[in-house]
Structure 1
Amino acid sequence: MSNLLLLLILLPVAAALVCYFVRSSAVRKLTVVANGAILTLASLALLGKGAFEPIAVGSFLGIGSDFLITVMDFALLGVIFFYGLKHKNLLIQGFTLAQAVLLAWFEFFVVEHAEVPALAGDQLSIIMVLVISIIGSLICIYALPYMKEHEEHLHLKTSRQPRFFFFLVLFLGAMNGLVLANNVLWLYFFFEVTTLCSFMLIGHDATEIATRNSVRALWMNSLGGLAFVIGMMLVYAKTGTLDIAAILAAGPQGALMVAGVGFICLAGFTKAAQVPFQSWLLGAMVAPTPVSALLHSSTMVKAGVYVILRFAPAFEGTFLSTGVAICGAFTFLACAALGVGQSNGKKILAYSTVANLGLIICCAGINTPLAITAAVMMILFHAISKSLLFLCVGTIEHAIGSRDLEDMRGLYAKFPRTAMITVIGILTMMLPPFGVLMAKWMAIEAGASNIYVIVMLAMGSALMMVYLSRWAGSLMASRAADAAPERQAALIRLPLMALAAAAVILSLGSPWIYNSMVAPMFNAPPFTLSFGSLDAVSGSFVVVPLFIVLGLGLLYAMKAASGFRKTRIAPPYVAGANTPADMDGTYIGPMNGPVAYAAGNMYLGELFAEGKLTPVFNSLAVALIVLMLGGAL
């Protein structure tokens, strides 16, 4: 087992080093594809073995693994401090120096370095490994042809791909280490590795805006790192152990320990870009599309929600639990509202991501079996659909030179495959019987006992429907019978098709995924499986019967639309002011002249103005976080 776990962590490290030092594009392509294939097989092998008890990791070259992690901790902080100096950012310098001082005191004068099993794996860890290894690998493979086109567009004389793929692939190993860690110090180390990787990837293009946003991401996540160290010290002061399994098994153990977990949750808030920390993730959209897809689906932000979910048993039934639920629900509502006024595809996906992460964190705060089930199912299905949509936006941007929704209008006419895959991705985010909507239904059912939470979740869900349905509708159009077929590189088409298929097929199999992977997490599972549906006291979510109805409806729609090219398409009716038939596409306007039709979406910019709402939401979020931590103390 230990060899399999180390393979999941160390193989991406080795592959990243090959990508960096061997400057051959052919070798890089082979390395990334092989790494993805092996990680996929290894994660499936881990799924086959199932949950396992914490295990120790031996020494490397005669040096203890815990000592190596300690050395790398300080080396990593040194690297981050160097970038703080390079960019003359006092916040990075201050937060990193504070971490180093506190960590040194903690490591050398406080901790009794008894052997703690370094790695462990329960159902949550295994699900996370599957998400990281499979979805993350598909994104890395997609990046191979994407980055070639990206650099051609930038007219670079010297390729930066070796460094780019070094951090992209390294991210996967760091995340696998994070979700498998059982020692709090190991968890902290991998938590900080993701901070450095995201900084380097966001600033990859080295433009002024990329550098500015990468620095902002670094100082915000360095604040999270400092909160993590403080929380770790407080938890250890009460429990006397760094063994995560032992800490969770004991449950809440008084104000000091709960306050420590509260600071760890604050670290998770920064990593998951919860309001008021959302600006670093919104700024990350300046990075190449594979970076955005990786950050939003299977690495950086999922590290934040994972940490909060992991420590949820340690604050169950406390005021902190209620505070986490309200903060998460508020982020869900705030970012759903901010997304309504956006027309930039990447920014819409960014706000949608932060909102759904807030929903997951809200579920961790509600802290019931039903809520935890909703959170885990949301992590899985959101990762698939959101990575698919980010890759679709990147593909569209390369095709039309824009990521604006208005420029995507009627995309199906020229790029039918990309448009249909994008629509599939959007539909799996918002409609039954797909997995994301199922998880939202579970979350709303779980939050029914808290009036503030249920109102925010209901309103946020409604607002999210507005901009997702608006986007899907904008893409559709008629396609000419003699239109040229759409061309895509094989390594672009493969991840898109695989993720689209996974979003549909895994949603169809969601009852069995729940039964085999999520239900074993609980002594009393919240759902029972019957006839392809999930049944509970709170209600039922019908999956397979709805898929049958959906399939029959799709067949009927395809048959009804099969003869559309034989029909005459009438122009829009504008109260009798249409021009004659030979001038289709215009209407009679001022001065009796023909005016071309123009369609456009409403973005309600005055009501959902980002510049006006963001300061208000940030202030309210800060107040909620202060109340949450104050109540824990």
Structure 2
Amino acid sequence: MLDSLLFLLIVLPVLGGLACYALPSRHLRGAVVVGTCVVTAAASLALLGNGAFATTPGSLFFIPVRGLVVLLDFTLLFAILAIAFKLKNKLIQLVFAAQIVLLAWFELFMATPTGAPTFFADTLSIIMVLIVSIVGSLICIYAIPYMQAHEEHLHLDRTRQPRFFLFLVGFLGAMNGLVLADDITFFYLFFEITTLCSFMLIGHDGTDEAKKNASHALLLNGVGGLAFVIGMMWAYSAVGTLSIQEIVAAGPTAQGLLFALALLCLAGFTKAAQLPFQSWLLGAMVAPTPTSALLHSATMVKAGVFLVLRFAPAYAGTFLATAIAVCGAFTFVATAALAVSQSNAKKILAYSTISNLGLMICCAGIGTPQAITAGVLLLIFHAVSKGLLFCCVGHIEQHIHSRDIEDMRGLSAVMPRVAMITLIGLLTMMLPPFGVLLAKWMAIESAGHNLFVIVMLAIGSALTVLIYARWGGNMMNAPHNAEPKHPSMPILTSFPLLAMVCGALLLSLAAPLLYSRLVEPLLPIAAYVVEAGSLRNPVGAFTLYPLFILLGFGVFYAMRQVMKTREAHRSTPYFGGANLPDSTGFTGPLRAPVPYQSANYYMTNVFGEEKLTIWINLGAGMLLAMLLGGALS
């Protein structure tokens, strides 16, 4: 039974992707994507029912699994090296050639099988499998009609969808393999498969910008892969095992292990696009929206956070832990500040993703039961809400031909259904009683011993509210007497959006259950007591269900008042001259019409990328140097 579930979660998505690549028919390809995603999601729920496990499959397709992984490791690295030569990028060539040499040395002269299980799952792994297999599957289904419209807009002579779905669906299998791997060489294989998949998906459209940004992503993630190989070799020298669980159990007392953990966390930083590595994820915005949604919510960047969280018990209470907490908090506040100056919706979501990932990594560094609870819950809630928001932006962009939030002004009148779904997604990211704010409250509370971290988390949280409230206000600013247009929405678009918006709401309601069933088993001692719909500890309490009841009454009252409104006389604002009859401006000098335009203030003179990025990157670089130097000393 367990071997079958592992096959469905890891191998089936890869086979489904290969089938998509081979099938010429768009309808057959769509059926394969839906079928693969449904089976993968069902398998993840079955794994949840199965519970924690450790296992070592003997073979796959009659090939010993260990030998197959070694073969795939080198095949993958040589394939990426070939791509690097095709790109004529010497840095990428150097990075992956170094990985090949180091991995060959490790496999030939250092590593010996230790009898540790190949795959291992605790509730953290199972949570990640659920995120990848359910949220990731919904995004893959959403991509079916999206990519058809995307290619119609580009007027392509020949479809590129087979290659796109090969890597999009295959990504799910690679991520499931990564989060379930206990053998660190297996982890490394899947870690680098995600690097290849992201490169292919970012460069999918084939424009010069897409190729450039894909190459940049390959380089930075290749640097992370190189750090991983060195950290893996260093950890093996220190502990003498390939098992991640045994490395974690050895803890910081093993001589030399702390620096190995620092290198592994550095690899996680690059994958999670933490400062100063954020540029690859911002560049990934040129990809089709399903790619952005998958990378930001369920796969690529979450792999980096998972890595840092997985090794958190091994460096808890050390200088490395404090450095990781400070680095994460700095990323949280700095990228939230950079998001303030943005009006491009995808870029806002990109910066806010990096910001929230920084908060998760900060929680891993703080390392207390309260902080780990916050980090894991944020991992769950952020995945659903951010996947939803990216998909909403993609759908909106295809109808209004813009992703600028200023062009979304009054969207509630033009596209009321998707505007309401988007608004709910924004609210779940910033307001109580929803899960993201609950996790942020836990994170700030857990950082009580570090005033510097608390200040950064508080400022970052305030900036996040500004970012999302401005966007939501734009959408609800509908013109007077506007008529809704209700543009059509394919079932394969509406179903993922409705599933994710319902998931964002219901998961917040289920936060106490998520804590007691999934998070608490990860902790050495209980962080909270679930009592009467509240999460309590000696410091304070978050009264979840009373807040939901209050929210329900508020929504009911607001809707009742809206239904009671009647047509009234409307006074137009004074613009500095006689208003034009249609109120679009005023009569100016020489009786010339002067149009007006309303827009938000983005404070680019304070928060602009060109003003802040270089200083923020310098600061992040110094923090990373501190992290590595402190771990080595």
TM-score range, shorter chain: over 0.9
Structure 1 residue 586 displacement after superposition: 3.5
1:564 shift after superposition: 3.9
1:416 touches 1:486 (CA, 8 Å); kept in 2?
Answer: no
Question: Residue type of the partner of 1:100?
Answer: I
**Gap change, CA 1:593 and 1:561, over 3 Å in 2:** farther
- SS of 2:600's equivalent? coil
Structure 1: distance between partners of 2:290 and 2:362: 28
* Secondary structure, aligned partner of 2:63: coil
Looking at structure 2, the residues matched to 164 and 341 of structure 1 have their Cα atoms a distance apart, in angstroms, of 32
CA offsets 1:517-536 (integer angstroms, 9 cap, x no match)? 11122232111111111111
The DSSP-based 3-state class of the residue aligned with 2:542 is: strand
Give deviations 1:6-62, integer Å, cap 9, x for gaps. Answer: 21111101101110111211111111111111111111111112222x211112344
Deviates more, 1:209-218 or 1:584-593: 584-593
Q: 2: CA distance between counterparts of 1:477 and 1:347?
A: 22
Quote the residue 1:616 is aligned against. 615
1:517 matched to which residue of 2?
Answer: 518
Distance in 2 between residues matched to 1:253 and 1:86, nearest whole Å = 45
- Counterpart residue number, 2:538: 537
Pairing 1:28–2:42 present: no
Task: State how 1:97-108 maps to structure 2 within 5 Å.
Answer: 97-108=97-108
Q: Distance in 2 between matches of 1:135 and 1:37?
A: 11
Matched, 1:442 2:442: yes
Q: Which residue of 1 aligns with 2:361?
A: 361
Report if aligned partners of 2:332, 2:456 keep a CA contact under 8 Å in 1. yes
Specify the alignment match of 1:43 in structure 2: 44
Partner amino acid, structure 2, of 1:271: K
2:154 is aligned with 1:154: yes
Query: Alpha-carbon deviations, 1:55-101, whole Å to 9, x = none?
Result: 11112344321111001000000011011101111111111011110
The corresponding residue for 2:555 is 554
- 1:574 Cα deviation from its structure 2 partner: 5.3
**Does 1:627 find its partner at 2:621?**
no
Q: Is the aligned partner of 1:345 residue 2:363? A: no
Which residue of structure 2 lines up, in the alignment, with residue 172 of structure 1?
Answer: 172
Contact 2:411–2:478 (Cα < 8 Å) also in 1: no
CA 1:569–1:223 in 2, change beyond 3 Å: closer, same or farther?
A: same
Q: Does 2:603 match 1:604?
A: yes
Q: Which whole-Å deviations, capped at 9, do the CAs of 1:549-576 have from their partners, x for residues lacking one?
A: 111111111111114462334323558x
Long gaps (5+) in structure 1: none
Deviation at 1:482, TM superposition (A): 5.0
1:487, CA displacement in angstroms?
1.6
Q: CA deviation at 1:584?
A: 3.6
* DSSP-derived class of the 1:486 partner: coil
Is the 8 Å Cα contact of residues 252 and 313 (structure 1) preserved in structure 2? no
Q: Which residue of 1 aligns with 2:225?
A: 225
8 Å contact from structure 2 (residues 285, 292) kept in 1: yes
In the other structure, the counterpart of 1:493 is: 494
Worse overlay, 89-98 or 288-297? 89-98
SS at match of 1:606: helix
Q: Do structure 1's residue 215 and structure 2's residue 215 form an aligned pair?
A: yes
Aligned to 2:60, the other structure's residue is in SS state: coil
Task: From the superposition, tell whether residues 415 and 565 of structure 1 become closer, same or farther in structure 2 (CA, over 3 Å).
Answer: farther
Shift of 1:121: 0.6
Partner of 1:137: 137
CA contact (8 A) 2:56 2:119 kept: yes
TM-superposition CA deviations, 1:406-450 (whole Å, max 9, x none): 111111111111111111111100000001111111111111211
* Preserved CA contact (<8 Å) 1:527 1:535: yes
RMSD of equivalent CA atoms: 1.5
CA contact (8 A) 1:8 1:39 kept: yes
CA distance in structure 2 between the aligned counterparts of 1:238 and 1:584, rounded to whole angstroms: 74
In the alignment, structure 1 residue 508 sits paired with structure 2 residue 500: no
* Cα deviation digits, residues 306-355 of structure 1 (max 9, x gap): 00100111111111111111111111111011100011000000000000
Taking the aligned partners of 1:327 and 1:593, their CA distance within structure 2 comes to 56
- The answer (yes or no) to whether the contact 2:273–2:281 under 8 Å persists in 1 is yes
Q: Which secondary structure state, in structure 2, belongs to the residue aligned with residue 37 of structure 1?
A: helix
Moved more, 521-530 or 203-212: 521-530
1:579–1:594 contact (8 Å) kept in structure 2: no
Residue 2 of structure 1: CA displacement?
2.3
Amino acid at match of 2:545: V
| SS of match in other structure, 1:432 | coil
8 Å contact kept, 2:324–2:627: yes
2:410 match: 410
With 511-520 and 479-488 compared, the bigger mean Cα shift is at 479-488
3-state DSSP class of the match of 1:438? helix
Equivalents in 2 of 1:583, 1:456: separation in Å?
Answer: 47
Distance 1:448 1:590, change over 3 A: farther
Decide which moves more: 56-65 or 513-522: 56-65
1:368 Cα deviation after fit? 0.8
Give the 3 Å change call, closer, same or farther, for CA 578–565 of structure 1 in structure 2: farther
Does the 8 A contact of 2:123 with 2:522 survive in 1?
yes
Amino acid at match of 1:535: R
Q: Is the 8 A contact 1:571 1:585 kept in 2?
A: no
Query: 1:429 aligns to what?
Result: 429
Structure 2: gaps of 5 or more residues: none
Structure 2 distance, partners of 1:206, 1:565, is 53
Deviations along 1:268-309, whole A, 9 cap, x unmatched? 000000011000000000000000000000000000000010
Superposed displacement of residue 398, structure 1 = 0.3
CA distance in structure 2 between the partners assigned to 1:34 and 1:184 by the alignment = 31
Deviations 1:185-216 (A, max 9, x none): 00000000000000000000000000000000
State the alpha-carbon separation in 2 of the partners of residues 559 and 570 from structure 1. 24
The answer on 1:84 being equivalent to 2:84 is yes
The corresponding residue for 2:13 is: 12
Tell me the distance in 2 between the aligned counterparts of 1:470 and 1:263. 39
Give the partner amino acid of 1:613.
L
- Where do 1:230-379 residues align within 5 Å? 230-379=230-379
What's the CA shift string for 1:156-182, capped at 9, x where partnerless?
A: 011000000000000000000000001
Whole-angstrom CA distance in 2 between matches of 1:285 and 1:587: 39
User: After superposition, where does 1:57-96 map in structure 2 within 5 Å?
Assistant: 57-96=57-96
Secondary structure in 2 aligned to 1:534? strand
**Higher alpha-carbon deviation: 617-626 or 285-294:** 617-626
Q: CA deviation at 1:255?
A: 4.7
Shift of 1:114: 3.2
State the one-letter code of the partner of 2:456.
M
The secondary structure found in structure 2 opposite 1:448 is: coil
State the AA in 1 paired with 2:604.
G
> Quick one: which amino acid aligns to residue 118 of structure 1?
T
Which deviates further from its counterpart, 105-114 or 185-194? 105-114
Paired residue type of 1:217: A
Whether the 8 Å contact between 1:139 and 1:294 is mirrored in structure 2 is yes
CA–CA distance in structure 1, aligned partners of residues 63 and 553 of structure 2: 62
Alignment of 1:377-396 (within 5 A): 377-396=377-396
Change (3 A) 1:267 1:483: closer
SS at match of 1:449: coil
Identity of aligned residues (%): 55
Q: 1:395 to 1:268 in 2, by over 3 A?
A: same
Verify the 8 A CA contact 1:238 1:253 in the aligned structure 2: no
Q: CA deviation at 1:589?
A: 4.3
